[in-house]
């Protein structure tokens, strides 16, 4: 399976992309990456076995060399830094060359939290559906890697995590498991036309996630809720687009009342359950020490 195809990974230096690249190579797939940055591998890609192309989703024609001869494309959209103005032209270029596209989407689409009239996953899904490509949407919950982003600095600085909505209950997904599902979709047609709702195996509040990290690194950690308004200000200050920041906070508020759902999709597709948050924390414990 897979060995005789060429796949292009966009977002290859993010959280999901490097895992997709490693797994594709492991399956013998000819693997290309599209890199925006000059420092091509940023320490996140294997030294060998990857064909490196440079291109920018903001400049659709820049993707053409990477797309020439490709069968499957892993697409993600960097909504934080790029609006969707060029998305129709990017998809037209992909459709011209490839047979299938796998889009890293969000559970926000599944639960109806996103609307198609703004810069979001739902809008991209709508565009992709209108192409003649075989598509698969990975409607994922938050990545476990978000814990590093949200907590690591504060844990290292003193052990008190100050953040909003500590009781927001999430079914975070290990990015390697998202990648494993992506690889199945990239290397065959059996997942074509599927909207796969991808979650971790358990629901944990943010406070529980921090407790687990504390157990793993052998330190007592604590949580202090901060008001949403202060969090919004900090997020916007850190570069979040304001609409994204307030949307994320509204979603977290909702999750204090109504925990995120759990699906069995990962196990159905890859034949084993997704990894737990504790497994992720053990794997990346040094990031919190």
Residue 104 in contact with ligand NAP, rule: CB under 6 A: yes
> The tokens of 142 are what?
């938050």
The residue within the footprint of ligand NAP, chosen from 5, 8, 17, 134 (CB under 6 A), is 17
Among 6, 118, 131, 146, binds ligand NAP (CB under 6 A): 146
Nearest to 86 by CA among 66, 115, 62, 104: 62
Closer Cβ to ligand NAP, 38 or 220, answer by number: 38
| Interface with ligand NAP: number of residues (CB under 6 A) | 28
Binding-site member from 30, 136, 140, 263 for ligand NAP (CB under 6 A):
140
DSSP letters spanning 191-259: TTTEEEEE--SS-EEHHHHHHHHHHHHT---EEEE--HHHHHHHHHHTT--HHHHHHHHHHHHHHHHSP
How many whole angstroms from its chain centre is CA 178?
7
> Taking the complex as a whole, how short is the minimal distance between the CB of residue 257 and ligand NAP, in angstroms?
20
- Residue 244 CB, shortest distance to ligand NAP, in Å, is 11
Check if the beta carbon of residue 208 is closer than 8 Å to that of residue 147.
Answer: no
Answer yes or no: are the C-beta atoms of 95 and 72 closer than 8 Å.
no
* Interface segment toward ligand NAP; rule CB under 6 A; list 70-78, 92-100, 216-224, 280-288: 70-78
Cα separation, 92 vs 211, in Å, equals 47
Contact of 138 with 182, CB cutoff 8 Å: yes
Of 16 and 196, nearer to ligand NAP (C-beta) is: 16
Q: Does 265 bind ligand NAP (CB under 6 A)?
A: no
76 binds ligand NAP (CB under 6 A): yes
Q: Quote the CA–CA distance of 53 and 21 in Å, as a whole number.
A: 14
82 vs 232, beta carbon nearer ligand NAP: 82
Considering only 53, 123, 135, 143, the residue that binds ligand NAP (CB under 6 A) is: 143
The least distance separating ligand NAP from the CB of residue 195, rounded to whole angstroms, comes to 13
Q: Which residues bind ligand NAP (CB under 6 A)?
A: 10-17, 34-37, 42, 56-58, 76-79, 81-82, 104, 106, 140, 142-143, 146
């Amino acid at each position: 399976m897979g060995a005789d195809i060429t796949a292009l990974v966009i977002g290859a230096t993010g959280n999901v992309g490097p895992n997709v690249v490693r797994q594709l190579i492991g399956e013998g797939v000819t693997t290309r990456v599209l890199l925006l940055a000059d420092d091509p591998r940023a320490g996140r890609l294997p030294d060998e076995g990857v064909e490196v192309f440079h291109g920018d989703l903001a400049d659709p024609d820049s993707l053409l060399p990477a797309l020439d001869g490709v069968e499957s494309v892993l697409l993600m959209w960097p909504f934080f830094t790029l609006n969707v103005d060029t998305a129709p032209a990017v998809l037209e270029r992909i459709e011209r060359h490839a047979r299938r596209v796998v889009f890293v989407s969000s559970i926000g689409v599944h639960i109806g939290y996103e609307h198609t009239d703004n810069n979001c996953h739902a809008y991209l899904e709508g565009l992709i559906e209108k192409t003649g490509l075989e598509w698969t949407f990975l409607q994922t919950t938050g990545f476990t890697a978000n814990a590093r982003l949200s907590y690591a600095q504060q844990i290292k600085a003193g052990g008190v995590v100050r953040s909003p909505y500590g009781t927001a209950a999430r079914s975070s997904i290990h990015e390697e498991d998202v990648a494993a599902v992506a690889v199945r979709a990239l290397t065959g047609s059996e997942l074509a036309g599927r909207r796969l709702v991808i979650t971790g195996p358990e629901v944990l509040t943010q406070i529980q996630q921090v407790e687990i990290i504390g157990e793993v690194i052998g330190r007592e950690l604590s949580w202090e809720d901060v008001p949403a308004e202060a969090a919004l200000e900090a997020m916007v200050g850190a570069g979040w687009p304001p609409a994204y920041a307030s949307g994320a906070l509204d979603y977290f508020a909702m999750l204090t009342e109504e925990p995120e759902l759990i699906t069995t999709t990962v196990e159905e597709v890859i034949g084993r359950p997704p990894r737990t948050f504790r497994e992720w924390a053990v794997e990346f414990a040094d990031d919190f020490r």
